[in-house]
Chain A
Amino acid sequence: MADTPQPDDSAKNRRRRSLAIALALGAFALLFYAVTIIKLGPAVLDRPL
Chain B
Amino acid sequence: MAYADHRQEVGLGAEGARVSDYLTLLKPRVMSLVVFTALVGLLLAPGGVHPVIAITAILAIAVGAGAAGALNMVFDADIDAMMSRTAHRPIPRGRIEPAEALGFGLVLAVFSVTTMALLVNWTAAALLAFTIFFYVVVYTLWLKRRTPQNIVIGGAAGALPPMIGWAVVTGSVSIEAWVMFLIIFMWTPPHFWALALFKQSDYAAARVPMLPNIAGDAATGTQIVLYSVVLALVGLAPVGIGMAGLAYGVVAAVLGLWFVALAVRLRQVDDPRARRALARRLFGFSMVYLFAIFLALLADHLLPIVSAGGA
Verify B56–A35 contact, CB threshold 8 A: yes
In this complex, the interface size class of chain B, counting residues with CB under 8 Å from chain A, is 10 to 19
Q: Given that A5-B12, A10-B16 are contacting pairs, would A35 and B52 also be in contact in the complex, using a CB cutoff of 8 Å?
A: yes
Residues of chain A within 8 A of B16, CB atoms compared: 4-5, 9-10, 13
Q: Given that A35-B53, A38-B52, A38-B53 are contacting pairs, would A17 and B19 also be in contact in the complex, using a CB cutoff of 8 Å?
A: yes
Q: How far is the CA of A14 from the CA of B59 in the complex (A)?
A: 25
For A1-31 the 0/1 string (1 means CB < 8 A from B) is 0001100011001101100100000001001
Residues of chain A within 8 A of B12, CB atoms compared: 4-5
Residues of chain B within 8 A of A44, CB atoms compared: none
Verify B19–A20 contact, CB threshold 8 A: yes
Determine the main DSSP class of B at the interface with A.
Answer: helix
For B9-45 the 0/1 string (1 means CB < 8 A from A) is 0001001111100100000000000000000000000
Number of interface residues of A (CB under 8 A): 16
Contact of B52 among A4, A13, A14, A34 (CB under 8 A): A34
Verify A5–B18 contact, CB threshold 8 A: yes
Verify B18–A13 contact, CB threshold 8 A: yes
Q: Given that A5-B12, A32-B119, A35-B119 are contacting pairs, would A16 and B52 also be in contact in the complex, using a CB cutoff of 8 Å?
A: no
Verify A17–B50 contact, CB threshold 8 A: no
Q: How far is the CA of A10 from the CA of B95 in the complex (A)?
A: 12
Residues of chain B within 8 A of A39, CB atoms compared: 119
Residues of chain B within 8 A of A17, CB atoms compared: 17-19, 22
Interchain Cβ contacts within 8 Å, total number: 40
Q: Which of A9, A16, A28, A35 has the most CB of B within 10 A?
A: A35
Q: How far is the CA of A26 from the CA of B182 in the complex (A)?
A: 38
Q: How far is the CA of A13 from the CA of B12 in the complex (A)?
A: 13
The B104-136 residues at the A interface (CB cut-off 8 A) are: 111, 115, 118-119
Verify B15–A13 contact, CB threshold 8 A: yes
Verify B56–A31 contact, CB threshold 8 A: yes
Closest to A20 in B: B19
Residues of chain B within 8 A of A14, CB atoms compared: 15
Least Cβ distance of B275 to chain A in Å? 35
Residues of chain B within 8 A of A9, CB atoms compared: 16
Verify A38–B50 contact, CB threshold 8 A: yes
Least Cβ distance of B131 to chain A in Å? 21
For B56-96 the 0/1 string (1 means CB < 8 A from A) is 10010000000000000000000000000000000000000
Least Cβ distance of B189 to chain A in Å? 36
Q: Jot down 18 A-B pairs with beta carbons below 8 A, ordered by A.
A: A4-B16, A5-B12, A5-B18, A10-B16, A13-B15, A13-B16, A16-B19, A17-B19, A20-B19, A31-B59, A31-B115, A32-B119, A35-B52, A35-B53, A35-B56, A38-B52, A38-B53, A39-B119
